[in-house]
Amino acid sequence: MKLLSATAALFLCAGQAFGQFAQPVPPRGIDYGPGRIDSSFAYQHIGQTVTSCGRVAQQGTTLEMGVSPYAMIVVFPPNVGPQAIASYNFKMICVTGTVYASDASAVGVRAQIPVQAPSQIVFIPDPGPRF
């Protein structure tokens, strides 16, 4: 019984200690050139019109770009079909538009850019892996 109590206490202490260090680490970002920001920093530009760039990591009815939990969401109008949205999957793109706050996530507000026209999105060259 003492061994069980000691083990439980050890796990409890380790869990509390880990919790102190489990905060998200802000991404480093990539320099996409003048006037462009890394999509992982879009949350710092709520209410501003920006060109935000990054790799599309997820897709469905929206695109998710950047490093979670700071990932930015690209929202399409309802008339854009899933096949059109899927063409962006895992590609490097830049999206120009006004940044809005989306629903709160576990770490706070996430950024989103609604897309109204295809001209708001451009494909860009892949800069390669980041280490």
pLDDT average per 10 residues of sequence, the chain (131 residues): 45 46 54 89 92 85 77 87 87 94 68 92 81 54
Domain extents in the chain: 25-123
Can you give the pLDDT at residue 120?
Answer: 95
Q: Token pair for residue 42?
A: 């879009």
Contact 42, 50 (CB under 8 A): yes
The answer for residues whose C-beta is within 8 angstroms of residue 38's C-beta and 6 or more apart is 27, 29, 30, 32, 52, 53, 54, 66
Contact by Cβ (8 Å): 115, 75: yes
pLDDT, position 78: 87
- 92 and 39 Cβ atoms separated by less than 8 Å: no
Identify the CATH homologous superfamily for domain 25-123: Nucleic acid-binding proteins (2.40.50.140)
Distance CA 122, CA 59 (A): 16
